[in-house]
Structure 1
């Protein structure tokens, strides 16, 4: 009799365990996160975020190595769920402005902000042995200023040039198809300067081959006004010496890399993503140091340029970080 009771107890326990496993599997999702091609900073960061989310939620997060011009439309077809992008590029897609003219019938691509992340530091990069010391020195030189589908990189190049009072009329425009190809053009001598993002793998390749030198920008209000006419999300940032391409403390352009989601993404999946990156943000720098500034205290910010997802807002309210200023900014964005 005792033996029979023991077997029954074991059976019930096993059934319970299997049911728990089944429930976990049933609740797990396969999520697709947009990033940029291998060699770019965003690709490295997207892989780190995906790994952290997967580790702590049970969801499988696949990184799509494509720019926003590819994955923003995929939000509309539910082929992509998340994506990291520059707020400069995302705002263009959201507002259906060039190169996203006519997107979604002129309405722009639907997306919502989940969180602001790490500070991306950028400028134009040259070969160290070319002895180009300022952006003004690029007048008449070959500069990558057209990145095709990579609208964010194009805007960064134009904003850096504008900072020094230059336009595409003052340079020889080099055209490429991606951010890594731009740096590679400098590496191979096909261009004198291209957009360089601090911490990107391709920048390290340039440094290993001929030395990388990021050109300083002018942080004055007048110069930044010219940059912000190109992209309003750009702000000046004093980058400390140490990273590849920065030998001395140098002012560069910056913005907060942002995690976006399609508006109709499953709410429970959003909460799992939010919790994973809130509770385990301290693990991100161990995967890539470029995520050392991807910290919870910066997730909810009035620097946002696309409205927050309602689920994200409720999350931030529960965490006690949603403020009157943030609510006012949210309403401003919704009413624009």
Structure 2
């Protein structure tokens, strides 16, 4: 009888594991940023947790380019992408995607960890609020619209544009982040744990984070007008911050886990359920992975609308709200309008030179957004 009881308990335990894992594929492919990036580290930690908890084998394809991360997902060669702001850009057909071969793509978010972003200055630059940046040297990065457009949005929060500052372009992200320590710039906009900022904090110039008041509705509306993917966030992990201090910043989603809109709702439901159930196994993988808690990672704003399979699970968990649903419907309407406009725009303009093509599409985008706002 004792042996029979032990066997029954073992079978029951195996049955529980199978019930949790049965809807996940045995193997999956994810894309992410290059090895060494936060996106790759977090995807790896989650993949390891999926293997331990559900027996699912995950292969991660790293890529240093937005196209390299997106193309396998859109072509069905990868299940999910651990992406950054390129997910918003491709939904609008912006920058690298303003070409006849690309245009707006119908992506959906599954979940996305809040990643803070703010204006940071040398403490001796005389900048205490965004408006004080007028006439100061701004460090931006050649060919990096993800950083540069977020900085434009933060300037807009304070009533400024890039025309109001002295833009200094640097060839790499690292060079831009080091520029304040070297007195080559007065401010930039970035994530708060960039390694070069710790050097700035210890340098004679010192460091200052410029807050974004969460109650400033006019400022947030101006920011959204430039880049509608960020929300207020109180950050307590940043270069130069003492223990117990925090700064009001903006948060976008990085990584945001995205897939195609037509991916099976049941598959996405199983994926986000697994992401939730394995949370305790990966939450300590990096200093910020605790923010994959779906109470934070499962709500908008995000770069693209949330997938219906994810919404089903988030609703069951009591996380999805009426406000979230209203946001999602508006975001779907914008994406659908962009795709419809592209289908009309492309045949009439695909023979144009690249710069003219992109400029005309930018005009069309403006018309689409204006029509939605009216």
Q: Which TM class, normalised by the smaller chain length?
A: 0.7 to 0.9
Q: Distance in 1 between matches of 2:195 and 2:49?
A: 20
1:123 counterpart residue number = 118
Q: Distance in 1 between matches of 2:169 and 2:126?
A: 23
Answer yes or no: is 1:195 the counterpart of 2:193.
no
Q: Distance in 1 between matches of 2:67 and 2:173?
A: 13
Answer yes or no: is 1:261 the counterpart of 2:254.
no
Q: Distance in 1 between matches of 2:44 and 2:202?
A: 24
Instruction: Tell me: CA distance 1:261–1:206, structure 2 relative to 1, closer, same or farther (3 Å).
Output: farther
Residue 250 (structure 1) aligned to one of 247, 250, 259: 247
Displacement of 1:168 after TM fit?
A: 1.3
Pairwise CA RMSD of aligned residues?
3.6
Q: Conserved in 2, the CA contact under 8 Å of 1:300 and 1:326? A: no
Cα deviation digits, residues 49-108 of structure 1 (max 9, x gap): 34433443432332525353542234233454423344x5422311213453236443x1
Cα deviation digits, residues 170-212 of structure 1 (max 9, x gap): 2222334654443133344443322221344454455456654
Residue 138 (structure 2) aligned to one of 112, 137, 143: 143
Q: Distance in 1 between matches of 2:247 and 2:49?
A: 32
Instruction: Tell me: CA distance 1:114–1:36, structure 2 relative to 1, closer, same or farther (3 Å).
Output: same
Answer yes or no: is 1:48 the counterpart of 2:45.
yes
Instruction: Tell me: CA distance 1:296–1:179, structure 2 relative to 1, closer, same or farther (3 Å).
Output: same
Instruction: Tell me: CA distance 1:288–1:128, structure 2 relative to 1, closer, same or farther (3 Å).
Output: farther
1:170 counterpart residue number = 164
Q: Distance in 2 between matches of 1:53 and 1:103?
A: 38
2:75 counterpart residue number = 77
Instruction: Tell me: CA distance 1:213–1:327, structure 2 relative to 1, closer, same or farther (3 Å).
Output: closer
Displacement of 1:44 after TM fit?
A: 4.3
Instruction: Tell me: CA distance 1:236–1:276, structure 2 relative to 1, closer, same or farther (3 Å).
Output: same
1:238 counterpart residue number = 234
Q: Conserved in 1, the CA contact under 8 Å of 2:137 and 2:186? A: yes
Q: Conserved in 1, the CA contact under 8 Å of 2:264 and 2:309? A: no
- Give matches, 1:272-287, under 5 Å: 273-287=271-285
- Unaligned 5+ residue runs, structure 1? 1-19
Residue 91 (structure 2) aligned to one of 94, 102, 111: 94
Q: Conserved in 2, the CA contact under 8 Å of 1:69 and 1:151? A: no
2:372 counterpart residue number = none
- Give matches, 1:24-43, under 5 Å: 28-35=26-33, 38=36, 41-43=38-40
Q: Please, what TM-score do these two structures have when normalized by structure 2?
A: 0.67
Displacement of 1:307 after TM fit?
A: 3.0
Displacement of 1:276 after TM fit?
A: 3.1
Q: Distance in 2 between matches of 1:74 and 1:176?
A: 30
Q: In structure 2, the residue corresponding to 1:140 is in which secondary structure? A: coil
- Unaligned 5+ residue runs, structure 2? 1-17, 335-374
Q: Distance in 2 between matches of 1:326 and 1:226?
A: 21
Q: Please, what TM-score do these two structures have when normalized by structure 1?
A: 0.73
Instruction: Tell me: CA distance 1:316–1:238, structure 2 relative to 1, closer, same or farther (3 Å).
Output: closer
Displacement of 1:256 after TM fit?
A: 3.8
Q: Distance in 1 between matches of 2:111 and 2:122?
A: 35
Displacement of 1:265 after TM fit?
A: 5.9
Q: Distance in 2 between matches of 1:51 and 1:128?
A: 41
1:61 counterpart residue number = 59
